[in-house]
Amino acid sequence: MGRGRGDFDVLVVLAAGGDRDALGELWCGHQSSLLRYLRGRGCDDFEDVASQVWIDVARGLPGFVGGEVEFRKWLFTIAHHRHIDEVRRQDRRIRAEAAKPAPRVTSPHDNGDLAAALHLIRRLPPDMADAVLLRIVADLSVADVAEIMGRREGTVRVLVHRGLQRLGTMVPPRLESWESGGTHGSSRSLDLVR
Amino acid sequence: MTNEFTPDEGPAQDVAWIVDALRWPARPDELDGGERTVNAMAAAIAGVKPTTLPHSRHGRRRIGVLVGIACVGIGGVAAAGAASVSRLDIVTPVSDEQPATTADSVLRPTTVTTTTSTPAPVPYVVSHDDNEGDEGNDRRDEDGTTDPGVAPAVVSSDEQATTTSFECAEGNHGTTVSSVAHATPPGSDHAAAIVTAAHSDCDSDDPDETSTTTVVIDTTAVPDTSVPPHTDDNRTARNANAGNDNGNGNRDSGNANAGNANAGNANAGNANAGNANAGTGNGNAGNGNAENGNANAGKSNDPNGHANGKGNAVEPAD
C-alpha cells in the first residue's frame, strides 16, 4: 500500500503479461485481506472462493486500468459477487455456521483474535458485515463500498456505524492488558477512532 | 491504510481491537498455497489472451510463433512424405514468364514460415490472366471483387483456356497438387487431374533450375462456379488436394471443409500440409494435423470458427 501509482501500474502490466513474480506480488499483497473478507462473510470454502477470485482477476488483468486503490476495489467487487454466488449455493451451510457458538475470546491479542473478530462479524446481518468488512478489511472508501454493494453512501455509513456498534455489544469486557495499551497495534486502532 | 473512519461510523474503543485484528498484516497461514494460485493465474492469463484483443499483443504474437513452429515441424514431415511419393515423368519446363498467379506465396518454400507473426496468405487462384498482377493474397470473384473469406469452387479465371499450367517450384509439390484440385471443376475429370498432378514430378533434378509441372486440365467440361462448395465432388476434390489446403479450404467452406478434408485421403494430408501450411503460415492445418493425423482442420477450426486459413495462426477473424 505504500507503493506508488507508477510502480503498481508496472506491476499490473507485468502480471497481465503472465509474469509470475508480479502475480505473486499482487497475490501476497491482497490475499490475506481477501481471505478475511470471505471468512467474515461466512464463506465456508473461503480458500476455494479466493482462488476463484484470483483466477477471475487474472483473466481480467489485461483489461484492468487503474492504480492500487482501483485494483483493490475491483478485487473486492469480484469477491463480493463470488460470495453472493457462493451464498446461493450454500445458503443452508452458512446459516448453520452463524448459529455456532462464538469461540472464547480471551484476549484481543492472542492467536485467536482474528478468528474471534471474524466470528463476531459473521454474526452481523449480511449487509452490515459486508459494509464493515469492505471498509475495514478491504480499506475502501464509503463511495467505493456503496458502489460495490449497490447502495447509497449514506446507507453504507449507517451500516458501518451500526455494525460497529453491534460488534461493541458482542465483545466481552476488555482485558486490562488491552486497556493499558499493551497490545499490538492498539494505538493505531485508537487513532482510527478519532 | 488510506481510509479513516468518519465520526458517525467510527469504531468505538470496544471494537478497536477488531479493526486491528482485521487489518493486521498477513499471517503465514494465510499465504499458503500461493504458488498454486499463481500458477493457476498464469494459466488463466495464457488462456485468455487470444480473446482480449486490446491487451493481448504479446499473447497473440506468442501464439503465432508457437503455431508457426508447429507448422514448420509438420511441414518438414509432410515434405519428407511427399518426397517419397512416386511421380510420373510429366514435368516440362516452362518459360521464364510465369503466370501472375503463381505468386511467391504459392511457391513459397516451407522455410518462409518463420514469418509466423504475419501469416502469409494461401492463394487459391491458380491460373489467371497475366494482367491480374500479384494477387496472392486474395481470390477474386467473378465480378473481380476480392473476397478473402470465400474460396470459389472453381478457380480458373480463364474459361476459354483448355489447358492450365502449374508450376511446381522448389519442389513444392503439395501446393501444386492443391492448386490443381482447386482449379479443376468438379466432374469426372477432376479426380484424374488431381491424380496426375499428384503423381507428377515437380522436383527439379537440377537444383539450379526451377522445374515446373504442366497439367492438362479440360476446363471446357463444366467450369460452373455456381456449384456449391460442399458437394460430394467438391469434397472429393478437396480431399485430394488436400493438403493444399487445410487452411484455406476450411476457411472457405466453414462447415464441410475441414472435416471432409483430410480425412481419409492420406495423400492429401501429407502432401500439402507441408506446403500449404508451412509455406503460408496457416496454422490450422498444421495444428490439426499434428494432433489428429489427417483429420486436421476440423479441430483447429472449431475454436476459431471460420478463420482457419489465415486467422488461426493469429486470432479469429470475428
Q: Residues A34, A39, A43, A45: what is their CA dihedral angle, to the nearest 10 degrees?
A: 80
CA-closest candidate to residue B279, choices B76, B80, B83:
B76
Q: What phi and psi, each to the nearest 5 degrees, are found at residue A6? A: -65, -45
CA-atom Rg of chain A in angstroms:
17
Has residue A127 got a pLDDT over 90? Answer: yes
Say which residue the cell 482510527 belongs to: A192
- C-alpha to C-alpha distance for B238 and B227, rounded to whole angstroms: 14
**Residue-wise over A120-142: b if at least 16 C-beta within 10 A, else e?**
bbbbbeeebbbbbbbbbbbbbbb
Indicate if the pLDDT at residue A53 is higher than 90. Answer: yes
Residues in chain A: 194
User: How close A91 gets to chain B, by Cα (Å)?
Assistant: 24
Residue A57 forms contact with B (CB below 8 Å): yes
Residue that is written with C-alpha cell 490475499 in the block: A31
Which of A135-144, A155-164, B22-31, B80-89 is the least confident region?
B80-89
Distance CA B65, CA B286 (A): 13
CA dihedral sign of residues B128, B284, B73, B268: negative
- Tell me what pLDDT residue B19 has: 87
- Does residue A92 surpass a pLDDT of 80? no
Whether the CB-CB separation of B198 and B190 falls below 8 Å is answered with no
Contacts of B55 in chain A (CB under 8 A): 16, 62-63
Cα B276-B277-B282 angle, rounded to 5 deg: 120
% of chain A surpassing 90 pLDDT: 53
Do B5 and A186 lie within an 8 Å CB cutoff?
no
In angstroms, the separation between the Cα of residue A86 and the nearest Cα of chain B is: 19
- What are the φ/ψ torsions at residue B213 (nearest 5 degrees)? -115, 130
Instruction: Flag if A183 and B18 touch (Cβ within 8 Å).
Output: no
Indicate the pTM of the whole model.
0.43
Which of helix, strand or coil describes residue B215?
Answer: strand
How far is it, in rounded angstroms, from Cα B304 to Cα B287? 12
Statement: residue A10 has pLDDT above 60: yes
Contacts of B58 in chain A (CB under 8 A): 17
Does any CB of chain B come closer than 8 Å to the CB of residue A193? yes
What distances in angstroms separate CA B24 from CA A177, A189, B34, B215, one per listed residue? Answer: 18, 11, 19, 80
The yes-or-no verdict on residue A132 having pLDDT over 90 is: yes
Is there a contact between A59 and B27 if contact means CB atoms under 8 Å apart? no
The reported pLDDT for the residue numbered B89 is 38
Instruction: Report the amino acid identity of residue B225.
Output: T
pLDDT along chain B (318 residues), means of 10: 57 76 86 88 77 39 50 50 40 37 32 31 34 37 35 35 47 76 78 80 48 42 41 38 38 36 36 34 36 37 37 40
Report chain B residues whose CB lies below 8 A from the CB of A78: none
The owner of cell 507441408 is: B274
Identify the pLDDT of residue A89. 79
pLDDT of B252: 37
CA-based nearest distance A48→chain B, Å: 10
| Contact present, B314 and B60 (Cβ < 8 Å) | yes
Q: What is the mean pLDDT of residues A16-30?
A: 93
Lowest mean pLDDT: which of A47-51, A146-150, B213-217? B213-217
User: What is the complex's ipTM, to 2 decimals?
Assistant: 0.76
Mean pLDDT throughout A109-120? 76
**One-letter amino acid identity for B247?**
G
CA-CA-CA-CA dihedral for B121, B124, B128, B133, to nearest 10: -10
Distance (Å, whole) CA B221 – CA B199: 22
- Determine the pLDDT at residue A24: 94
Q: Which chain B residue lies closest to A175 (C-alpha atoms)?
A: B14
In this model, does residue A121 exceed pLDDT 50? yes
Q: What is the mean pLDDT of residues A81-102?
A: 71
Q: Which three cell numbers stand for residue A177?
A: 492488558
Residue with cell 527439379: B204
Yes or no: say if B76 and B111 are a contact pair by the CB < 8 Å rule: no
Instruction: Please name the helix (run of DSSP H) or strand (run of DSSP E) that holds residue B165, with its range, or none.
Output: strand B164-166
Interface of A with B in 78-97 (CB under 8 A): none
Highest-confidence segment of A37-41, A86-90, B65-69:
A37-41
Q: Which of residues 169-188 of A touch B (CB under 8 A)?
A: 171, 174, 178, 183-186, 188
pLDDT at residue A102, rounded to an integer = 54
Q: Residue B88 in contact with residue B142, Cβ under 8 Å?
A: no
Cell 481480467 identifies what position?
A: A60
